[in-house]
Amino acid sequence: MIIKLSQLFLRTLREDPAEAEVASHKLMVRAGYIRRAAPGIYTWLPLGLAVKARVEQIVREEMAAAGAQEVFFPALLPREPFETTGRWNEYGDNLFRLQDRKKADYLLAPTHEEMFTLLVKDLYSSYKDLPVTLYQIQNKYRDEARPRAGLLRGREFVMKDAYSFDVSHEGLVASYHAQRDAYERIFNRLGLEYVIVKADAGAMGGSASEEFLSPSPIGEDTFVRSAGGYAANVEAVAIAPLPAVSAADVPAAQVVDTPNTPTIDSLVELANAEYSREDGKQYFASDTLKNVVLAVTDIKGKRSLVVVGLPGDREVEFKRAEIAFAGFEVEAANEEDFAKHPELIKGYIGPVKDGVQLLGEKATSGVRYLLDPRVADGTAWIAGANVTGKHVFNLVKGRDFVADGIADIAEIRAGDPAPDGSGPLEIARGIEIGHVFQLGKKYAEALELKVLDENGKLVTVTMGSYGIGVTRIIAVLAEANNDEKGLIWPEQVAPADIHVVAAGKDDVVFETALKLAKDLEATGKRVLLDDRQKVSPGVKFSDAELLGVPQIVIVGRSLENGEVDIWNRRSGDRRSVPLESATSELS
Amino acid sequence: MIIKLSQLFLRTLREDPAEAEVASHKLMVRAGYIRRAAPGIYTWLPLGLAVKARVEQIVREEMAAAGAQEVFFPALLPREPFETTGRWNEYGDNLFRLQDRKKADYLLAPTHEEMFTLLVKDLYSSYKDLPVTLYQIQNKYRDEARPRAGLLRGREFVMKDAYSFDVSHEGLVASYHAQRDAYERIFNRLGLEYVIVKADAGAMGGSASEEFLSPSPIGEDTFVRSAGGYAANVEAVAIAPLPAVSAADVPAAQVVDTPNTPTIDSLVELANAEYSREDGKQYFASDTLKNVVLAVTDIKGKRSLVVVGLPGDREVEFKRAEIAFAGFEVEAANEEDFAKHPELIKGYIGPVKDGVQLLGEKATSGVRYLLDPRVADGTAWIAGANVTGKHVFNLVKGRDFVADGIADIAEIRAGDPAPDGSGPLEIARGIEIGHVFQLGKKYAEALELKVLDENGKLVTVTMGSYGIGVTRIIAVLAEANNDEKGLIWPEQVAPADIHVVAAGKDDVVFETALKLAKDLEATGKRVLLDDRQKVSPGVKFSDAELLGVPQIVIVGRSLENGEVDIWNRRSGDRRSVPLESATSELS
């Protein structure tokens, strides 16, 4: 294949597009791979389409190798199945909704769990038909509030989504791992760095779930990892409760005056000034018990309060709280909430008042009380005394107060121990490029996908879902492979293998370049030939650097010596080789 | 490639789907190629997707051969460009419209003229950049009122749409013919019978246009053709005005009593009974001048009347009238219209009253008067006298009355002469499979696509648009290639080349079938292998006939003699060949 730049529909740009924030977006627009049609919605130009086709081909090959079969669903879908599973509403503003001429409700599919489930229900009825894994590569739609970063977060984008159907959990686990392995092969073939992290379930519902994140400073996902191999999305880090300690030597709890100490900082300062420790050490924020009042609202709109106690040096991370309180909206309590609970004295809230437990469903306030897993039995804390200007010292968990349960919603910090004991955690950012998910029976139950088992009994099918952001991957590849001059595509996805530049004015230059391009094509190479007349060699070289084909061959001045220059785009190495050996050197 | 039926996601059905009207729809659903997701919206199953991919590949190859470059536009588009060209409204209920979370208007694209125009405007600015022809293969959306016949008229469907951009009309004509030639190659390669007919412009606007119709009794398009090679959509047939004849021997016009003759039939009957011709011949309906009152409404809602005079044996065809009165809505005048024009006496309308012209913009009524091109100067007619119960005989066009112009809106009938003199017309039905169109400057003007010409002057670009219904073609192929047993795919689009059936219970049958499949695969064949256990040979044969792979090989009873049976799906021929020569026989 030879693509001639003299004919290619391409215009490279010297200026970054105004709306572009990240390198991949800037460069893919400047190099004429994509073009914005609307916010988060892009047109693919010929070179971009060539890259996209190559990525899709790799995905298809590995899906086939994993035994997955390709189908193709509509993007325009009726409301009913999504109504049945509740997602018509759950998706909120992220869903593009519309009506047809008969006022029937439709949506543009953000994902296809419902449709795959119904298709299998439609055609299959026996355990003998299973397992089966189906996939598609298809345009998806999400009405992102802030479409950003070009292809990294679009509103119309291409995904490969696969779904597995099994009779047993063991089958599901096997199907899951077949896809997970395929994902590793795909990302390895694409040369994409990735980390597999435990993931939260998000809006999908279900049990086991892992994300493939490509580490990147512009990533929207925060994840943690340890040197010992632990890796998880911050939402998915589960802190193990700390073991109980003995409180035998802890003096009895004592209420003291702590005027003007509504904040942790002011409390610690006063404690160190007025109530210095007997061992001479300082008090720290981590010695105090911070009690945060949250309002949680269920899907029917019922709002109630929860108090969460956590070490005073930690903050609540609401992203983690949303996962912990799945199905509820979580926010900080407002003035109105406090007005309904005059027993909660802001700045001085604690589990106990006058030696009697105040917080807790069965305590005097009736307000649910949860504790961070770091608040272990036997540990002593400085906590609010539920009286303005007073705190309790030496308040011991288990001895002086109890809780209704655990709330693992504190922020994760660099240096925190990995939950599996594999060392301190590092915090990094990544871009989600894949997601594998043991959905379980959620969709099959909602849509009644059952098959007859070996004993002739109806059993509900168990499912997995597996997604790869195809267009996002292209952006991630561009993000990871560029320099200040332009793109540097990995060989396996480049729009061409070799970029031949006719750098000169004489016919012999153009003729030689064309002949070389044809010789290379004959060896199976994809060739981009810059045969533009009246374009200077300098502009052609800049364009070659911008377009990012891995190997560049310059047919120009060296031709006088019977040579051409081979230029490696990534390393920048340039060397002259005899014209007659150029083809073999490049094959 | 070997597809094993034991693993393929497939369920063949014995019953026709309830909603299916035509063979292609019934069979593609029964054979597990497609599945309905919503009215006019289909899911592609693995075998269907394989056929689709092969058709798309042929289209891509011929587009590349014609020098067209592939791009890929979004399906979800902003309103603005369609507002600029007026199509946001013109499309009416056929357009799927929606709003995003910010209440901005979007649409699902039914076609992409605007976007291609803007893309070229965005990137190109000089005559040196042109000509260029771009295309895409993409999901399109039209909210058809009556989605019918499966893939033949869907609401989500795949089209190849191409657009050419030229500086000159000559360039446009050349680009047009390059696409037209490519279409002929595509349809020839697909083995599709087609007729190229002159087409009306429809909602596209512009000048020259041809449709590729595949003749079919279930086609929604009516076209005419002559033995001499004329072919046109009925809307596009232009009747040449008949030459003038001499009226020297025609007696003077005479008003006579014709009581109770409000219809042509009653008038002819009375004329023959009461006013018999001097030459002894009968009067026929074609001797009368039928004057039809139409109401035409412009885009601003202004309604006015037009009277069209045509031979009494012809009816107005409103599809043709809509083209003739482009930009106006056309309907029969209603009671209210007649009430405003008491001079128009229903059943007795004619051009002349009391020897004075009544019909015509400058005549006494002021009502515009148009004539069928068959009403030639010098011809004599029996026409209404504009008095109840009276008609005029020997009313001569040119001598006794004139018209404001021609209205070529009468129905075309089998046997009518072709406008180009190439013989009598035959009327047939066809399915539109392609459309090539010289758009001209309509979109370029609306969206201001201009480039600098050789003299540095801005000139508006001239465009062509070229569409192929990819998914519709598949239905047309299925429609043209089936029998009562099932589908019979042409080789070049079949989901597999050879269908190997393991017809027996013994292991040796399955082993031999698998080995044969592998041998065939090694020769580059695509093989479907029916290796299902516990499925009877009879069911397997029925499925093979239903699925429609062109060659079937049965590994079964003949194996005792060291033979397999080769079965040609189309001809039905079956012959036994030695196992060892089967591969070479089939290669």
Q: What is the pLDDT of residues B470-512, one digit of tens each?
A: 999 999 999 999 999 999 999 999 999 999 999 999 999 999 9
Q: What is the pLDDT of residues A110-129, one digit of tens each?
A: 999 999 999 999 999 999 99
Report the domain count for chain A: 3
B37–A78: do the CB atoms touch at under 8 Å? Answer: yes
Q: What is the pLDDT of residues B513-536, one digit of tens each?
A: 999 999 999 999 999 999 999 999
Do A298 and A227 belong to one domain? no
Mean pLDDT across the stretch A323-332?
A: 86
Mean pLDDT across the stretch B413-436?
A: 92
3-state secondary structure of A37: strand
Do A207 and A305 belong to one domain? no
Q: Name residue A232's beta-bridge partners.
A: A198, A224
Q: Which string of DSSP letters, residue by residue, matches A417-428? A: BPTTSS-BEEEE
Q: Name residue A211's beta-bridge partners.
A: A197, A435
Residues on chain B touching A69 (C-beta within 8 angstroms): 7-9, 46
Mean pLDDT across the stretch B46-64?
A: 98
Q: What is the pLDDT of residues A77-110, one digit of tens each?
A: 999 999 999 999 989 999 999 999 999 999 999 9
Q: What is the pLDDT of residues A538-558, one digit of tens each?
A: 999 999 999 999 999 999 999
For A154, residues 6+ apart whose C-beta sits below 8 A from its C-beta are A40, A41, A42, A144, A147, A471, A472
pLDDT grade for B324, boundaries at 50, 70 and 90: confident
Q: What is the pLDDT of residues B56-105, one digit of tens each?
A: 999 999 999 999 999 999 999 999 999 999 999 989 999 999 999 999 99
Q: State the pLDDT at residue A351.
A: 96
Structure tokens belonging to residue B437: 């169109």
Q: Would you say residue A204 has pLDDT above 50? A: no
A181 burial level (CB within 10 Å; 0-12, 13-18, 19+): middle
Do B464 and B500 belong to one domain? no
Q: State the pLDDT at residue A70.
A: 98
**Residue B190 falls within a domain, yes or no?**
yes
Q: Name residue A534's beta-bridge partners.
A: none
Do A164 and A35 belong to one domain? yes
- Shortest CA gap A167–chain B (Å): 16
Q: Would you say residue A419 has pLDDT above 80? A: yes
Percent pLDDT > 90 in chain A is: 86
B35–A143: do the CB atoms touch at under 8 Å? Answer: no
Residues on chain B touching A37 (C-beta within 8 angstroms): 73-74, 77-78, 115
Q: State the pLDDT at residue A201.
A: 44
3-state secondary structure of A441: coil
Q: Which of B73, B98, B141 sits opposite A43 (nearest CB)?
A: B73
With CA atoms as reference, the chain A residue closest to B73 would be: A43
Residues on chain B touching A134 (C-beta within 8 angstroms): 9
- Shortest CA gap A74–chain B (Å): 6
Residues on chain A touching B49 (C-beta within 8 angstroms): 70-72
> What does pLDDT average to over chain B?
93
Structure tokens belonging to residue B16: 């026709």
Q: Indicate which of B52, B54, B71 best probes the interface with A, i.e. most A CBs within 10 Å of its own CB.
A: B71
CATH code: domain of residue B346: 3.90.960.10
With CA atoms as reference, the chain B residue closest to A8 would be: B69
Q: What sign does the dihedral B398-B401-B406-B407 (CA atoms) show?
A: negative
**Residue A153 falls within a domain, yes or no?**
yes
**Residue A566 falls within a domain, yes or no?**
yes
Measuring CA to CA, which residue among B294, B307, B288, B308 is closest to residue B383? Answer: B288
- Shortest CA gap A172–chain B (Å): 17
Domain that holds residue A507: 496-586
Q: What is the pLDDT of residues A167-201, one digit of tens each?
A: 999 999 999 999 999 999 999 999 999 999 888 64
Do A460 and A539 belong to one domain? no
Question: Which residue type occupies B587?
Answer: S
B93–A101: do the CB atoms touch at under 8 Å? Answer: yes
pLDDT grade for B576, boundaries at 50, 70 and 90: very high
pLDDT grade for B200, boundaries at 50, 70 and 90: low
Q: Which of B478, B510, B541 is the last residue of a domain?
A: B478
Do B178 and B305 belong to one domain? no
Do A436 and A316 belong to one domain? no
pLDDT grade for A203, boundaries at 50, 70 and 90: very low
Q: What is the pLDDT of residues B439-481, one digit of tens each?
A: 999 999 999 999 999 999 999 999 999 999 999 999 999 999 9
Mean pLDDT across the stretch B236-264?
A: 91
Do A259 and A393 belong to one domain? yes
Do A210 and A128 belong to one domain? yes
Q: State the pLDDT at residue A163.
A: 98
N-term to C-term CA, chain A: 15
Q: Would you say residue B201 has pLDDT above 60? A: no
Q: Would you say residue B205 has pLDDT above 80? A: no
Q: State the pLDDT at residue B146.
A: 85
3-state secondary structure of A306: strand
With CA atoms as reference, the chain B residue closest to A115 would be: B37
**Residue A329 falls within a domain, yes or no?**
yes
Do A68 and A213 belong to one domain? yes
Q: Name residue B396's beta-bridge partners.
A: B380
Do A274 and A388 belong to one domain? yes
Q: State the pLDDT at residue A263.
A: 94
Mean pLDDT across the stretch A499-517?
A: 96
CATH code: domain of residue B179: 3.30.930.10
Do B287 and B187 belong to one domain? no
Residues on chain B touching A45 (C-beta within 8 angstroms): 71
Quick one: DSSP state of residue B409?
-
**Residue A542 falls within a domain, yes or no?**
yes
pLDDT grade for B403, boundaries at 50, 70 and 90: very high
Q: Which of A406, A436, A460 is the last residue of a domain?
A: A406
Residues on chain B touching A70 (C-beta within 8 angstroms): 46, 49
**Residue A1 falls within a domain, yes or no?**
no
A71–B8: do the CB atoms touch at under 8 Å? Answer: no
Q: What is the pLDDT of residues B281-321, one digit of tens each?
A: 899 999 999 999 999 998 788 999 999 999 999 999 998 88
Q: State the pLDDT at residue B206.
A: 46
Residues on chain A touching B73 (C-beta within 8 angstroms): 37, 43-44
Measuring CA to CA, which residue among B334, B338, B327 is closest to residue B302? Answer: B327
A115–B37: do the CB atoms touch at under 8 Å? Answer: yes
Q: State the pLDDT at residue B147.
A: 84
Q: Would you say residue A574 has pLDDT above 90? A: yes
pLDDT grade for A516, boundaries at 50, 70 and 90: very high
Q: State the pLDDT at residue A72.
A: 97
Q: Would you say residue A31 has pLDDT above 90? A: yes
pLDDT grade for B203, boundaries at 50, 70 and 90: very low
Give this complex's ipTM.
0.86
Mean pLDDT across the stretch B140-163?
A: 92
Mean pLDDT across the stretch A212-234?
A: 90
**Residue B201 falls within a domain, yes or no?**
yes
**Residue A420 falls within a domain, yes or no?**
no
Q: State the pLDDT at residue B220.
A: 87
Q: State the pLDDT at residue A202.
A: 44
CATH code: domain of residue A529: 3.40.50.800
For A41, residues 6+ apart whose C-beta sits below 8 A from its C-beta are A147, A154, A155, A156, B74, B76, B77
